[in-house]
Structure 1
Amino acid sequence: MSLHDYDRKRDFAATPEPRGGARGRGAARRPIFVVQLHHASSRHYDFRLEADGVLKSWAVPKGPSLRPGEKRLAVQVEDHPLDYAGFQGDIPEGHYGAGHVDLFDRGTWVIEGDPLLAIASGKLDFELHGGKLKGAWKLVRTGKQARQPQWLLIKRSDAHAADTEADDLVGQPSARTRGARGTAKPRTAATRSTPSAQRGQPRHKTPRRQDALWHRRALALPGARDHPHPPGFAPELCTLRSAAPAGDGWLHEIKWDGYRLLAEVVDGVVKLRSRNDLDWTDRVPGVARAVAALPVSDVRLDGELVVLDARGSSDFSALQRVLEGSSRQPLRYVVFDLPGLAGVDLADAPLLERKQLLKQLLGDEVGTLAYSDHVVGHGAEVFAASGKAGFEGIISKRVDARYAAGRSQDWIKVKHEQGDEFVVVGYTKPKGARAHFGSLLLARPEAGGLRYVGRVGSGLDDAALRDMYRRMRALATDTASVDLPAHVPLSVRNVQWVRPQLVVEVAFRGWAKEGLLRQASFRKLREDKRMADLTTPGASASTRTGARPKRSKTSPEKPAKAPGRTARTSPRNATKAPPKDAVTITHPERVVFPADGLTKGDVAAYYRAIAPWLLRDVARRPLSLVRCPDGVAGECFFQKHHGAGFGEAVHALPLRQKSGVEDYVWIDDDAGLLQLVQMNVLEFHPWGSTVDDPEHADRLVFDLDPGDGVTWKQVRAGAREVRARLREAGLEGFLRMSGGKGLHVVVPLVPASPWEQARDFCEAFARAMEAHAPERWLASARKSQRQGRIFLDWLRNTRGATSVASWSLRAREHATVAVPLRWEELSRVAGPGEFTLDKARQRAARLRKDPWDGIDRLRQALPEG
C-alpha cells in the first residue's frame, strides 16, 4: 500500500490527523512500532510497524494478548505516515475513523531480514521493545477471503509472556527507559539477563538498590572523592602504536570492533551516549534497561557496544544490521571502565582498582552487560594470542592510570594490520562493471587544514558501494577541500568533491615516499567518529588539528546533478543502454497473472519490448514500486526506498527527509528496468519531478476515480471537462488510461513549480470542479459520498506522492496496462480494461510517434494566484 489511500480517506482541513509524507528513518535508529487505542464506532487497537518509510497498520479488535499462543484477529488497513505515531486526540464525527485516539504503547521492533518481503509472504516473526509489549511476536496472514487482509497476532512463549491482555494494561505507565528525557526510573526496567533467545528465562528480578554499600566500596579506593552530582564525562581515547608495551605496569584488553558507548545513571535516570555525545538511549533500549537494572542509582560506565559471532569475536557488520533493525542477534555492552559509582568520583583512582570494583558490580553473569577482562603484563604474548584468535588487536593501559578525557599515552592501541582512519574528501567515476564510484579520495587533518593521502577502491562490496555513494551524494560540493599533489596522476575533471564529514577506517601496507598510502583497502565507515577525532599516528591530544572544512556551495538537501544527463530519455537514446541480455530473469516459469496464464517470463518480455516508451515516463525520476513476489494472487507491496539486491543499474537517490537523508529508487536505462522486473516489480510509479530537481514538480496528475453508478461514458465526458477547465487556466493536459477504473489527465510544467504551490493549485482546482457541479464531482475521498460521482483525486501532487507510469502493468487480476492516448482516441475506447498486456504491446509496435507528441516542447506554468 502507499499513503495515497490514507490521504484520500481524510479531509485534512477538518481532521487533526497528520498529513505526513512517507519518509525513512535513516541509519541512526531502529524502526518504531506504536499501538493506539481507538474509540471509534467499534473500539479496537491499532497496531503499527514502521517499514519503508510508513507505518504498516492492522486493526486488532480485542487488542494484543500477552498469553503465549493466543490468537488475536488483526485486520490490515491502509498505511499511515510516521507522524501518526505521535497522534492522540479526537477525529470529528462524520469523518473516517471518527472517535478518540489514545497512545497505548510505542517502542522499537526488529525482524530478521526484509520486513516488506515478510509481509508479502504472510508471516512476520519479530521482537517488540516497548513499554508494555516486549519480546517475540508473530503476525500470520490467514487464507480467509475478506474485503481487507486478515491476520493473526500471536505472542510467542518467552520471558515476557504473561496471563495478561491489552485491556489489563490500559492506564498503566510505560516502563520504557527514556534516558535524557527522565521519564523512567531503573526500578521499572527489565532485568539484566541474557536474552531469552540465547540463554533462556531471566535469572533474577531487578536487584534491590544498595547505594550505601557501593558508596563505601567506591570511597575506599585511592584517589576517590565524594561528588554526588559530577558533571558529564568525556571518553578517554587511545594512541596508535606498532607494538604492545612491556612490563607489569600495563594491562592488556581485547580491542572490540563496535561502537564506543558511555553510560550514566544519575538519580536513577539512564542516559547512553556515543563518543560524539549523541544520545543513544532510545536507539538501544535493551542496553539502557540492563544498565538500569544494576544495584545502584548512580553509576558511570565506559565500554563498547558489540555483536559477538559464534567464536566470541565482535562482528561490526552484524552490529550494523542489528542497529538498523534487520537482525535479531543480541547486543552486548562490553564494559571496561568505571569513572564513577554511587556518588563517588573515581577518575583519579588507579585503573586496576577501578576495574576490580567494576567486576564486582557487574557480577559473574554474562548477559547484555559483560565485563572486559584483561591480562597484566606479557604484552607481546597477549598481542600474538589475540591475532591467532582472530581479534583486530589489543588495547594496552597503564595499571595506575587515572581516567582522563581525550587522547593520551596511558591507553595504547595496537593492531595486527596497519590501519588508520581518514576523512573522505571526494570520489572518482566508476569504470567497467564497477557501480556507483571508482575510489574514495582520502585526507587527514594537519596544521592549517587537510592533506591528501591517497585513494582506496578495494575492500568495498556492493552494499558498501551503495551506502557510501548515498552518503557522499548528499555531501556533494563544487569546492575542493584539499589540493592534489602534482605527482598524483588524477585529473580533477574525474573527481566529485564532497564536504569532509565521513570518516572511514582503512587498512594499508605503509606509506610511499610521496606520503601516500600503499595498498590501501577499505574496512568500514566510522559513523561514530568525526573529522575532529582524527590524529596522526602517535600524536597526542595537544597536536590535533581541528581544520574547519571549506563551506560548500551545494545544499545537502539536493544531490549534485550528474554531468551530461538530461531529465528525459527518449526511445532513441534508451536503446544505448547495456545489452538487454545482460539481465538474467530467474524463475521465468513462475505464474504472475493466474487469470491470464502469464508468467514472470511474459512480464519480462513485455517490459523488454516496451522499455523505450516506458522510460520516457520513468527515467531519471524517483520511483515507487509495486512488488509481487508470488504474483498478483499473493501479497503485493508498495516500496519507495532503495533495497538490497536491486542490481547495479538501479540507483539510489539520497533525499533529505525529516528523519535524515534517505535513499529513493531511480533508473535511467532498460538494464535498470529489467533488474527491477527481476525483483518482481510489476508497477512503476514515478514522482512528478526529476532526480536533478526533486523539489519542483514538472508534472501534475488528475486521477478521475469513478464511484459506484458512474458509467464509462460519464468518465470519458469527465476527462474532457477537466481538459476544458484546465485550458481556461492556460494549461494543456494529456490523456492516459489508468489501467484501473478511470482516466488520468497529465499536465506538464515548464518551468517546474515548488511542490507546495503545485499541491495548492491542484486542491483548489478540484474543489472548484466540485463547487461548479457537485452532482458529478467530489474533491474528497469519502466513500459515503462517492455514489454516482467522480472523485477528482488531486492528492497525487505532493512531494513523494506518485501515480502509475504510462505503459506500466497493473497488479490486478488481469494484466491491464496504463496506456497513453491521444484525445481523439478516447471515443473509440470501449471500457477501462481495454488494454491488456498483449494489446498494449501490439499498440506500441504499431505506433509511429508518441501519443503525447509535443509534451517535451510545451512551455506552460501554473497561473499566478
Structure 2
Amino acid sequence: MSGALTVTVDGRRVQLTHLDKVLYPATGTTKGEVIDYLARIAPVLLPHARRRPVTRKRWPDGVEGQVFFQKNADASTPSWVVTHRIQHKASANDYVLVDDVATLTWLGQTATLELHVPQWRVGRTGAHLPPDRLVLDLDPGPGAGLPECAEVARLARTLLRGMGLDPIPVTSGSKGIHLYAALSADPHAAASARGAARPPSSDQVSAVAHELARHLEAEHPNLVVSDMRTSLRAGKVLVDWSQNNASKTTIAPYSLRGRERPTVAAPRTWDELDDPGLRQLTFTEVLDRVARDGDLLAGLAAGHLSHLEPTPAHLARFERLADYRAKRDPARTPEPDVAPPPVVEPVETTPTPTFVIQEHHARRLHWDFRLERDGVLVSWALPKGEPTDPGRNHLAVQTEDHPLAYGAFAGVIPPGEYGAGEVAIWDSGTYDLEKWREGEEVIVTLHSARRGSRRLALIHTDGAHWLAHLTQPARPHPLRHPVDSALRRQLVPPSARGDDKVPQGDAAALGDVLLPMLASAATPGQVRGMRGRDAGAEWAFEMKWDGFRTLAVVERGDDGAGRARLISRTGQDQTAAFPELRALAAQVGDTLPVVLDGEIVALDEAGRPDFHRLQRRAHPQHASGEDATGRRSVDLMVFDLLRVGARDLTCEPYDERRRTLKALLDARAPIHLPPAFDGDLTAALATSRRLRLEGVMAKRRDAPYTPGRRTRQWLKLKHTRTQDVVVVGWRPLHAGEPHPDPRLAGALLLAVPGPDGALRYVGRVGTGLTDADRREAATRLAAVERATAPLDGVPRPDAQHTRWATPHLVAEVEFDGWTADGPDARLRAARWRGWRTDVAPDDITVEA
C-alpha cells in the first residue's frame, strides 16, 4: 500500500504512508510490519520507555540507506506528541517522550527503528528525577561474541547480587548483552536503608558502575576490559559503565535495531545465557515470547510504577481536589482535568517529591508555588514572587490543592475562566522536606538546575495568609542558561497584564529568553525540488552571510531612549565588542521592545564579507594594525523580525514577518536590510557566486519562526562544504623534527560529536593557517592543555607529538567531503577557516 491511510490510535489521528516500503531488505520486512510490531509490543515496551527523553535513529530509506540521528522534535512533530526540553551547555533540544501507543505509531511512520533512552525519567513538574535503574553494556571486541558476554554477565551478576541488586539480562539486538538492575522497588525505603535523605545521583550510580567494571577487569584481565579504547578490546568484553551518565542513553528494551535483520533488544532468562547457541532475537520471535512469558523485565519497573487499588487514601486525594474541580470546566479550559479514580490506576512513586513555581499573568501578575504532598500539589499564590532576601518576607496566600498533572501545565486560560491569563513554568525541581506541620509551618529545601538550591519556610499567620521566608539564599547553578520554551514563547500581551510592559525573565532582559532559529543543510533531493519554475511560490531565497549570528534587542532604557543589545547564539552579550551597531536603536521606531535576527559581518574593500577580518575585530588581542585598534568597522545584516512591542511575530509566516520588518526598519549603514532574492534557486546561486558569498539560504514562505530549533523550514546551500569542529589537540610546527617550534601550531586535531554525544576523531588540519593563526592557536590551546587525550580512536601516527586540549574550543574548516560513511569517516582535504566563538561543542551538527 503506497497511498496514505489515516488511523485513530488512543484518540489521536495518525497518517500512515508507504506501508509497503521495505525497511529490512534481507527479510523483506516492511514499514507496515514495523508499525504493527510497535503497536503489539507497546504494553511491555512503554513501561520501560515512558517519561524518558528519547533519542531516535531513523532509516527513511531502509537499513541499507542513510541513518538520521534525531534528538530534537522538528516542525513535523504532531502537536499532541509530548516533548520535554533539555537545556544543554549552549543549546536546547525538545525530546519526544514515548508515553503512549499513538506516539509509538507515529515514530514507526517516520521509520524510527531505534529508541535510545537514559536511566532517569522526567517527573510530573518537568524535574529530572534521580536514576531508577543501573545498566551495564557488555560489548564484545573483535574475536569475542555472545558466549563471552554471557560469561561476563554471570560474573557481574554475582557482584551485583552482593550489592543487593538483582540484574536481568537483555540481548541488545546488536552484538552484546545489557544488564539492568532496578535501584529500588521502594525508593523511600532504599534511601532510608542507605542512611541518606536523597537517592543516588546519576554521577554516583555511574561511579559505582565504573568501580564494578574495574573490579571485573582486575579479576579477569584476559576476558574483561573497562577502558573504551578500541586497541585494548581484541578478544575481550568491554563493560561499558558510562551509560549510567545522565547525558548518555541506552537502546530501550524491546526496541528494534537498525541492523541487517529486524532484531530486538530482548529480555532473556539466565538459563538462556547458558545455551551455547545463544543469539539475538528477531521481532517475530520476541512477540511470540511475550505472548507466552509476558514481560521478563517487569521487575525493573517496580521502582517507579505501582498499581494502586482505590484505597481510602486514594479516594481522599480525589476529594481534596473538589474545590479545584468546582472552579473549572474541562470543556472551556486547557488545564488538567480531574477524573474519578479508576479501579486500577498506574501511579508514579518518586524518590523525592517535586515542586513547581508558575508565573501566572492573571488579572494581577503573581507566582503560584506548589509542593507535591500526599498525591496532590499543595498550592500558594505569591503576589511578589519567591523571596530573595532573608530580611524581607513575602506574602503567600494558600489556594486550593491542584492535581499532580498541573505541575507540567503551561498555556493560556481563556478569558472569563477562573484565573484567566497566561501561565508559564518559572522554576521546577525536587525538594527535601524538613518540617510539615499541617496548617502551621512548612520548611523545605528546593533543588533546581535553573536557580540552584535554597531553603524556604512557610509560616501560617491567619486565614489563608502565610509568610514565605528565605532562610538560606540560593546556591546558584554554575552555568546560567536562557530560560526554557515555556517562557520563550509566552510573552504576554497587554490585555492579559493590564499594562504595556513586557514581562522580564530572571535576567531582566528580553534577549535572554530567546534563541535563534537554526537551519539544516539541504539534501540533493531538496535542491532539485527548489530548482523548478514555481519554487519561488513556496521558498524565499536570501544570500548567506559569513559572520556571527546575533539576536538584536532594542529596549527602552531608564532615560526613556531606546538601547540596543546584541546576543550571540550561545547567549553572550556582544554589544561592547561592536559599539557601532548600537545605531540600530535609532532605526526601529518608538514601539519597543523590538527583537531582530541577523548576522554581524566585516566587509572587505569590495564589500564582501570577510570572516577572518571579523575574527580579528572580535579578538583584537590576536590582531595587529588597524584591527587591533578596533577601527575596522562591522555591519549588521538584518533578515528577520521576532517581536515589535506587545506583538509576538514568531508564529507568523515568513512573508508576514518580512513585510513588517520592511515597514519597521529604517536601514542605514552600518545596519542593512538585504532583500530576499526574487527569482529561482539557480539564479540565486549564480548571484551568490558572482558576489563571492558563502551560499544561499532557502526559507519556506509559510513557516513560522521556531526559536532554538534546527528545522528543515530553513535550508542552507553552500558553495563549499564547511564543518564546525572541536579542536582536541595540536602539534607544534615541525613536530618530530630536530627543532620544533612550540610557539606555533603546525596542525590541529579535530573531532565532532558522534551519535551518542561522545566525540569522534575526524582528522587534522594544517592548510590555510597563517603564521598569525598558528601563533594564536598555540596560545589558545596551551591555555586549555590537558595531559591525556579527551577522546578515543586517534590513530597512533596522528597522536605522536600531540599536545592535548580540553574540548572547549570550536573552529570551522572547509573540506572536500568525507572519506567514508560511519564512525571511521575523516575530513578530506580540510582547510582552516577560523575560530567559531559563537558556537559551542554541543551545537555542532555533522554536515552530510
- Pairwise same-fold verdict (TM > 0.5): no
TM-score interval (norm. to shorter): 0.3 to 0.5
TM-score (norm 2): 0.35
TM-score (norm 1): 0.34
Greater RCO (Cα-Cα under 8 Å, separation 6 or more): 1
Q: Which has the larger radius of gyration?
A: 1
